[in-house]
Amino acid sequence: MQLVLQLFSCRVTLETHHPVQSSGQKQSQQSSPDSSTPERGRGDVRQCIHVIREVGSAAHALQSQKQHKMAQFDKVSQKSKLHPKPEGLTLQYGTAGFRTHAKHLDHIMFRMGLLATLRSKKTKSTIGVMVTASHNPEEDNGVKLIDPMGEMVTAVWEGYATQLANAEQDSLLKELKDILEKEDIDVSEPASVYVGKDTRPSSASLSQAVLDGVSSLGGKTHDYGLVTTPQLHYMVCCCNTRGCYGSPTVEGYYQKLSQAFLQLTQNASNRTDDQKRLQVDGANGIGALKMREMEAFLRSELQVVLSNDGSSGKLNHMCGADYVKVQQKAPQGMNMGVGERCCSFDGDADRIVYYYTDSKGCFHLLDGDKIATLISTYLKELLTQAGLNLQIAVVQTAYANGSSTRYLEDVMKVVVCCTKTGVKHLHHAAQEYDIGVYFEANGHGTVLFSKAAQKQIQELVKDLNTNDERKQAVKLLESTINLINQTVGDAISDMLVIEAVLAIRGMSVQDWDAIYTDLPNRQLKVTVSDRRVIDTTDAERKAVTPEGLQDAIDSLVKKYKNARSFVRPSGTEDVVRVYAEADTQESADSLAHEVSLAVYRLAGGVGDEPKPLH
Ligand code: 16G
Ligand code: ZN
């Protein structure tokens, strides 16, 4: 097809050759039909030979491209037999990529290697593939694709991922060609894919399957081995910005973050060793390993006491950010002193939550909402001090505690925006502002600075005419930007930001906790025969279907004080999630139960009816 088009365009060149000649030339040609004007005639012949040669070499190039393509597809076909798809198995690229028991994932990994290669050819950039199942049990695994600037892959390509993953063995090439055609990808383009993995026992062979997929399509790989998810996002961004974002090595990451952290904590020089001490629960995962590596770079400005470091316990088992957030209790294996500042990473270190126990033994959780509040308040103050007129917004989901939203809007006068659950939605919304702080209540989040905002801050740093207070504030802003991993939520980077903010403002974890008091809340799940019967709107805060469900929720909420409740189908589990908050824990529990019953009755509940919590 391409060849025909090229030949056709050559013919057009030949035919239009004469009309563009001057009338004088035309005349002389007409008067010498035997081409007795030798120059002109020779010129035409030369031109024709040139065009024929071009056509010939184009045809040759296309021929060899075609051969190359065939050879490539042969290789894919051969290699894919080593990573066969179990017949009938279908999986979907969900909010967090593919995630299931590791034993079902070998073919998925190989195919995601193929897809990442295509994505790289399409975008002419390096693409990342991370092998991890985050906070899931150790037996599970998963995979996520990372786009050129370190963000999540687009929705259309998520669709291709599902399409490719579910193609039966004999139609894999057909699906591959379909994507190539739809996206108009030249298969002979070079490709580059960065691969990383977490510490799960299955991750080594699964990441090898990704590498096989890439190489079978002729792509180049860089295997980073064991890295946190946010470290791989960082590498991809560093590579595609040609080093502007940092150096694409693990050491480059440690250097960039630690330098910024040390610069920030210089502004809190009278901290005691006690204040520098932080207990970190590594979830027995990759975060623990990387924290150990980073320690030396922090030059004792942060004194980490690491537990669940992977030396004995099981990944995410009774520990890690998800366990602490869901169970609302301290992880096992951590020796917590009264009032001591502690935090937990999840299995791939892209989430973090803080907590402490008070003198009465009461457990206090500081989740993503509290983190967003601390960071946005700090940034807003710096903007005021620096005299910068930049708009700052906090992006939350429906799960954000009502108290946090009220505090941010009413007291801090910050714009608050609510999106659907899932990092990509929050990330996307945060890009709309000069400074977008986004956090899910579960502890995944970061801060995005627009290019214009970064430029303004950098220019002001250089501006020698600014007075001391302004200069100090703007320098802090600059270091804070360097400390934040803007590509994705990053437990290590977020932890360092939080530690720096607490140090600079001279706050204890208790002071931070006291900024506002969380409304008691409860999350439950209900099993229904098909969770897709629940459709939501208004950033998942209202149920559109099944009919009558939202009315039922509205009238239940009215029975309680300061109450709020919503339901949504989970994107990662075959259940419907129910959230409720109210003025007391009893009310929140009771409301959550009543809403669960409404879901069970109106949305096709299966199994036993939900039982009251008390
Ligand atoms: C995934 C999402 C997370 C979200 C969670 C909700 C990413 C990288 N992760 O883990 O942001 O909170 O799903 O799970 O987007 P759910 O739909 O089962 O409630
Ligand atoms: Zn995670």
Give me the DSSP letters along 449-498.
Answer: E-HHHHHHHHHHHH-TTS-HHHHHHHHHHHHHHHHS-TTS--HHHHHHHH
Centroid of ligand 2 to alpha carbon of 401 (angstroms): 21
Q: Which residues are annotated as a binding site for substrate?
A: 440-442, 568-572, 577
**Tally of domains in the chain:** 4
Domain assignment of residue 412, given as a range = 368-513
Residue type for position 450: S
pLDDT at 46: 62
Query: In this structure, which residue's CA is closest to atom 2 in ligand 1?
Result: 422
Asked if residue 25 has pLDDT above 90, the reply is no
**Separation between Cα atoms, residue 559 and residue 226, nearest integer Å:** 51
Output the CA 133–ligand 2 centroid distance in Å.
7
CA 324 to CA 355: how far, in whole Å?
Answer: 9
Write the DSSP string, 349-371.
SS-EEEEEE-TT--EEEE-HHHH
User: In ligand 1, which atom is closest to the CA atom of 134?
Assistant: 10
Q: Is residue 231 one of the residues assigned to a domain?
A: no
Spatial separation of the C-alpha atoms in residues 43 and 48, rounded to whole Å = 9
Q: What is the mean pLDDT of the chain?
A: 90
In a domain, 277, yes or no: no
Q: What is the pLDDT of residues 306-338, one digit of tens each?
A: 999 999 999 999 999 999 998 989 999 999 999
Query: Between these two residues, 237 and 41, which has the higher pLDDT value?
Result: 237
Residue found under tokens 């931070």? 512
Average pLDDT over every residue of 599-605 = 97
Tell me: do 494 and 538 sit in the same domain: no
Mean pLDDT of the 540-553 span: 97
Check which CATH number belongs to the domain holding 145 and give it. Answer: 3.40.120.10
Confidence band of 59 (pLDDT split at 50, 70, 90): confident
Which residue reads 């559109």 in tokens? 544
Find the CATH number of the domain harbouring 552: 3.30.310.50
Q: Which residue has the higher pLDDT, 606 or 41?
A: 606
* pLDDT of 45: 58
Rounded CA Rg of the chain: 29
51 pLDDT tier (thresholds 50, 70, 90): low
Residue 570 CA: nearest ligand 1 atom is 17
Q: Is residue 433 part of a domain?
A: yes
Q: Report the nearest atom of ligand 1 relative to the CA of 488.
A: 8
pLDDT, residue 18, reads: 28
Query: Counting every residue, how long is the chain?
Result: 614
43 Cβ contact partners less than 8 Å away, ≥ 6 residues apart: none
Ligand closest to Cα of 96 equals: 1
* Residues known to be catalytic: 134
Record the tokens describing residue 36, joined without a space.
Answer: 């007795």
Residue 287 has a pLDDT of 98
pLDDT of residue 15: 28
Q: Which of 207, 203, 205, 195 is nearest to 232 (CA)?
A: 195
Under 8 Å between Cβ of 281 and 331: yes
Nearest atom within ligand 1 for CA of residue 571 = 17
- Asked if residue 469 and residue 387 are part of one domain, the reply reads yes
Closest ligand 1 atom number to CA of residue 350:
8
CB of 444 within 6 A of ligand 1: the answer is: yes
Backbone angles phi, psi at 184, to 5 degrees: 50, 55
Helix (H) or strand (E) holding 324: helix 321-327
Residues 328 and 403: their CA atoms lie apart, in Å, by 18
3 state DSSP class of 587: helix
* Amino acid at position 530, single letter: D
- Residue set of the binding site: 134, 346, 348, 350, 440-442, 568-572, 577
| Mean of pLDDT values over 396-423 | 97
Question: Where does the pLDDT of residue 49 fall: very low under 50, low under 70, confident under 90, or very high at 90 and above?
Answer: low
pLDDT at 24 over 70: no
Give 355-376 pLDDT, tens digit per residue: 999 999 999 999 999 999 999 9
Task: Note whether residue 269 is domain-resident.
Answer: no
Of 5 and 569, the structure prediction assigns the larger pLDDT to 569
527 shares a domain with 474: no
pLDDT tens-place string over residues 393-408: 999 999 999 999 999 9
Q: Does any domain span residue 302?
A: no
- The percent of residues above 90 in pLDDT, for the chain, comes to 82
Q: What is the mean pLDDT of residues 264-271?
A: 89
DSSP string, 63-125: HHHHHHHHHHHHHHHHHHTTSPPPTT-----BTTBEEEEGGG-HHHHHHHHHHHHHHHHHHTS
Query: How many A from CA of 572 to the centre of ligand 1?
Result: 7
The closest residue, in CA terms, to atom 10 on ligand 1 is: 96
Does residue 565 share a domain with residue 458? no
> Does 118 score more than 70 pLDDT?
yes
Q: Say if CB 354 and CB 498 are below 8 A apart.
A: yes
Query: What whole-number distance in Å separates Cα of residue 365 and Cα of residue 342?
Result: 10
Give the residue-averaged pLDDT of 438-466. 92
Whose atoms come closest to the Cα of 133: which ligand?
Answer: 2
Of 564, 570, 537, the closest CA to residue 404 belongs to 564
Report the alpha-carbon distance of residue 370 to residue 354 in Å, rounded: 9
Query: Alpha-carbon dihedral of residues 481, 486, 489, 493, nearest 10 degrees?
Result: -40
Q: Are residues 551 and 597 in the same domain?
A: yes
Tokens at 338, concatenated: 């009264």
Q: 197, 226, 255 — which closes off a domain? A: 226
pLDDT-wise least confident of 116-120, 185-189, 466-470: 466-470
**213 and 164, same structural domain?**
yes
How far, in Å, CA of 390 to CA of 406, rounded?
22
Q: Does residue 420 have its Cβ closer than 6 Å to ligand 1? A: no
Does the C-beta of 96 come closer than 6 Å to ligand 1?
A: yes
Residue type, 64: S
How remote is the CA of residue 490 from the centroid of ligand 2, in Å?
9
Ligand 1 pocket member 200 (CB < 6 A)? no
**pLDDT at position 113:** 98
Residues 420 and 382 in one domain: yes
| Nearest residue (CA) to ligand 1, atom 19 | 570
Lowest mean pLDDT among 25-29, 311-315, 319-323, 467-471: 25-29
**Which of 513, 542, 572 is the last residue in one of the domains?**
513
CA distances from 105 to 128, 140, 337, 458 (A): 18, 9, 42, 46
Of 93, 346, 421, the one to substitute when testing ligand 1's pocket (max ligand atoms within 8 A of C-beta) is 421
Specify whether 586 is located in the same domain as 451. Answer: no
Of the ligands numbered here, which is closest to the C-alpha atom of 344? 2
Statement to judge: residues 506 and 526 lie in one domain: no
Q: What average pLDDT does range 589-614 have in this prediction?
A: 96
> Which two tokens mark 61?
């190039």
- Judge if the beta carbon of residue 396 lies within 6 A of ligand 1: no
Residue 597 lies in a domain: yes
Same domain? For 118 and 210 the reply is yes
Would you say the CB of residue 573 lies under 6 angstroms from ligand 1? Answer: yes
- How far is residue 511 from each of residues 49, 242, 370, 504, measured CA to CA in Å? 83, 42, 12, 13
Same domain, 551 and 439: no
Q: What percent of the chain has pLDDT over 70?
A: 90
Quick check: CB of 571 below 6 Å from ligand 1? Answer: yes
Query: Would you say the CB of residue 421 lies under 6 angstroms from ligand 1?
Result: yes
Mean of the pLDDT values across residues 532-547?
A: 97
In a domain, 249, yes or no: no
Residue of 34, 35, 180, 212 whose CA lies nearest to 111: 212
* 548: its two tokens: 């009558």
Q: How far is the CA of 477 from the centre of ligand 1 (A)?
A: 30
pLDDT at 490: 98
Do 140 and 206 share a domain, yes or no?
Answer: yes
- Using the CB atoms, write b or e for 534-570: b if 16+ within 10 Å: bebeebbbbbeebeebbebbeebbeebeebbbbbbbe
Q: Give the model's pLDDT for residue 39.
A: 47
User: 56 by DSSP, 3-state: which?
Assistant: helix
Query: What is the pLDDT averaged over residues 344-354?
Result: 98
Q: What is the structure's pLDDT at 52?
A: 62
Q: Which of 513, 543, 577 lies at the terminal end of a domain, its last residue?
A: 513
**235 part of a folded domain:** no
- 570 CB near ligand 1 (under 6 Å): yes
Does pTM surpass 0.85?
yes
